[in-house]
Structure 1
């Protein structure tokens, strides 16, 4: 394999930094012919791969920023071409905002200082790479540290990386707009997951790829709400019979050990000093003896109401019909 270039062609003209959010593949290759040649020769996967290895530590010519602005306009025009403009929206030059007051009220959407953020796993990255010449919807993208030119970031929050703002139950896109759809740790926060699933299928092209991640035993979390956890059967129930299942499984990144650690940490946060000491003394052997043997322990009796709701084995509702 030939040596890979470790820097772009930098001259004495004004320099501007390139970040993950402002990175543009075409602009990077245009401003760095040696990187472009390496990509075409097959010795380098992409300009982004080079940027993440070397370029993120460098400054680059103003030409990069200029071309990036042109590519951003082109990308926004591409996104605009698949929008359902029969729905009310505002274009502020940064994002297309479909989160109208009616939707806010209907789905109880409230602004929050909390930031949703997750990195793509291998399944998502594989799909993004497979459709590099198409369009991928990241529905409920959260705040993304990097913009992928073929990925449309849809959110209820106006993050710097958000392309289109709205709610999952009323996606503002035309039918069959996307080659792939990602819904990563989102459907538990959706008020009507059946409508949201139907919308995901509506905007996905026939034969398109669908990647869905939903928690089962995670504690309640996130913004704006946390409505539903799901079993594997529950996920399938949302989408069948409209899909052909390739695989449904639990990756190591969401294996049950994460739940154990999460619950233990959150449980500890809901205890006073005495109960916390009791909790830390608990052994696995004592736990395996069963819950009835632990009901009088301080770490059980003194757990806060908030944490009981967050970590509950089940929750009881008492009510009267209006």
Structure 2
């Protein structure tokens, strides 16, 4: 029988349909030579134009995915459903957590820790809590965000997750908690919807400049991250991956700094040596590349920030 076929893309990928259309891959998965059809597609299939999937099977899989998500949703919160995503971002939550629409978009690829969790639970469910705009859809990952990106499954806020207790086998919180107004409450919500013994990967910046949408509230030390979750975690490992070692912070801060300079000051800034820096900041305070920075740019890359206020 002839079937309507469509090209596989990261956003329309269907595990069942991909394996059905590619029996060689299905056999490799059965033998343990490939972790999943998705894993094969990410490495090989995405560049092989002959890889196709049955559009009817893909549509059925999409509906099954939505049914599965809906079964996890809380029944005590209002939401709307436009057939694409479930929207829990009510006007009240927008106001309470100061959420506003913006053209800014967050998008990052999964690293090996995130991919490892996803592949450990092929039949389970992973919550990408604050997913941003994902370039790919995984059948076992629910994308939750405050923005209705093309990849968003459920929209809401991290402090009031719209999922039932103990819904997920694993949760990803990747560069999100610095943008959350109340990270302590958000951490409690993560623990509430994570199954006992479930996996958790949390990434929060320490020395990155101000960035992101809609707000940037808190950078954190490792102790700070652990303090959010209290005694509820059995910590497997705390480390700094290669992609976030200190050299990235130095690069990011210097790039932001350079953006705030005119041509002459930028030329002087580029000629600055590490040896000059290590002589100490007091020797550099009167240089043009220090004095020229705007108040906004100083706030973005400051060593510390002072707030002076009166109680209402």
Other structure's SS at 1:235 match: helix
1:245-256 alignment runs, 5 A limit: 245-256=235-246
Q: Tell me how far 1:281 sits from its aligned partner.
A: 1.2
Structure 2 residue matching 1:250: 3-state secondary structure: coil
The one of 159, 168, 184 equivalent to 1:169 is 159
Corresponding residue to 2:105 among 115, 135, 155: 115
CA-atom RMSD in angstroms: 1.5
- Please tell me whether the aligned partners of residues 15 and 59 of structure 1 are also in contact (alpha carbons under 8 angstroms): no
1:305-320 alignment, distance < 5 Å = 305-320=295-310
What CA distance in whole angstroms lies between the structure 2 residues aligned with 1:279 and 1:208? 48
- Give the match's secondary structure for 2:38: helix
1:67 aligns with 2:57: yes
- Provide structure 1 residue ranges, at least 5 long, that are not aligned to the other structure: 1-10
Count of residue correspondences: 311
TM-score, length of structure 2 as denominator length:
0.96
Q: How far apart, CA to CA, are the structure 2 residues paired with 1:127 and 1:16?
A: 29
CA contact (8 A) 1:16 1:59 kept: no
Matched residue, 1:304: 294
Instruction: Decide whether aligned partners of structure 1 residues 14 and 195 sit closer, same or farther in structure 2, where only a CA change above 3 A counts.
Output: closer
The equivalences for 1:23-42 within 5 A come to: 23-42=13-32
Q: TM-score normalized by structure 1?
A: 0.93
Aligned to 1:257: 247
Is the 2:5–2:55 contact (alpha carbons within 8 Å) kept by the matching residues of 1? no
Q: Which residue of 2 aligns with 1:81?
A: 71
Look up the match of 2:85: 95
Quickly say closer, same or farther: Cα 1:178–1:15, change in 2 above 3 A.
closer
Q: CA deviation at 1:319?
A: 1.4
Matches within 5 A, 1:125-274: 125-274=115-264
Instruction: Tell me, in whole angstroms, the C-alpha distance in 2 between the residues paired with 1:229 and 1:52.
Output: 32
Contact 2:102/2:213 (8 A) holds in 1? yes
**1:277 matched to which residue of 2?**
267
> Which contiguous aligned blocks of 4+ residues in structure 1 show a shift greater than 6 angstroms?
none
Q: Which moved more, 1:283-292 or 1:268-277?
A: 268-277
SS of the residue aligned with 1:162?
A: coil
1:13 to partner: Cα distance: 6.6
Residue 16 of structure 1 aligns to a residue whose secondary structure is strand
Mapped partners of 1:44, 1:208: distance in 2: 24
Q: Contact 1:215–1:229 at 8 Å: present in 2 too? A: yes
In structure 2, which of residues 276, 279, 286 is the aligned counterpart of residue 289 of structure 1?
Answer: 279
